[in-house]
Amino acid sequence: MADDCLFCRIIRNEIPAKVVAKTDDCIAFRDINPQAPSHVLIIPREHVPSLNQLRDPDVVGRMAMLAAEIAKQEGIADSGYRTVINTNADAGQTVFHIHMHLLGGRGMGWPPG
């Protein structure tokens, strides 16, 4: 837990969020500025600033499994979806608590911008 981390504060219920799933290890909530009809952020309860600081591969494994479950709930598992972890400036990371974006409900371009 980091006192001044936005996503730790969401985990502690200090900041409201539209939560779509909770597990022992992760929570998932709707992005405040959605970039697709479905845009959910999956975060571990453990404060890991970015992929660069990841030590336990299970953390991302659990995030990915939960993303796939939520994709089913959102009805986008078959049509398709994108999962993204942005790391540092060139990728546009703005919140330094690791998170997986789950985006779907529209076609996506490749390569990403």
Site for Zn ion, rule CB under 5 A: 2, 5, 7-8, 47, 97
Residue 17 binding ligand AMP, by CB under 6 A: yes
Q: Is 39 a catalytic residue?
A: no
Q: What is the closest distance, in whole angstroms, from the C-beta atom of residue 96 to ligand AMP in the complex? A: 8
What is the C-alpha end-to-end distance of the chain, expressed in Å?
32
* Paired tokens of 53: 């600081």
Beginning with the edge strand found earlier in the chain, give each strand of the sheet holding 81-84 in spatial order.
Answer: 19-22, 26-30, 38-44, 100-104, 81-84
**Catalytic pick from 39, 97, 99, 101?**
99
The amino acid at residue 93 is Q
- Give the footprint of ligand AMP on this chain (CB under 6 A): 6, 15, 17, 29, 31-33, 41, 86, 92-95
